[in-house]
Homo-oligomer: A and B are copies of this chain.
Amino acid sequence: MRRLSRLEGQVRGIARMVEREEYCMDILQQTAALRAAVDSLNLVVLEEHVAGCLKSAVERGRADEYTEEVMDVVRRTMGRPVRARPPGD
């Protein structure tokens, strides 16, 4: 929850910057930070889900079924721009 109210604060901060027509570069820096925060929220939610899957798999002794569920949620989470990064070149 703290993470989420920080996210809201970030969005409001960007709104203020746009309103004041601040320098694009600074806004882009903030939106990049916002995206990183969203990604990190994603991972927290994902981790909780994966933990639940593993727990259920162990309890019910069903590895395959939960492998699929884990992969499904991983695909959903990754199926996007997390990957779009250039190397530190």
Query: Footprint of B on A, CB under 8 Å?
Result: 1, 4-5, 7-8, 11-12, 14-15, 18-19, 24-25, 27-29, 31-43, 45-55, 57-58, 61-64, 66-67, 70-71, 73-89
Contacts of A40 in B (CB 8 A): 81-82, 85-87, 89
Main secondary structure, interface of A, reads: helix
Which has the most chain B C-beta neighbours within 10 Å: A49, A50, A53? A50
A44 to B2, CA, bound (A): 29
Give 24 CB contacts A-B under 8 Å: A14-B41, A28-B84, A29-B88, A32-B42, A32-B79, A32-B85, A33-B89, A34-B38, A39-B78, A39-B81, A39-B86, A40-B82, A40-B87, A40-B89, A43-B74, A43-B82, A54-B54, A54-B70, A74-B78, A77-B78, A78-B78, A79-B83, A80-B81, A86-B89
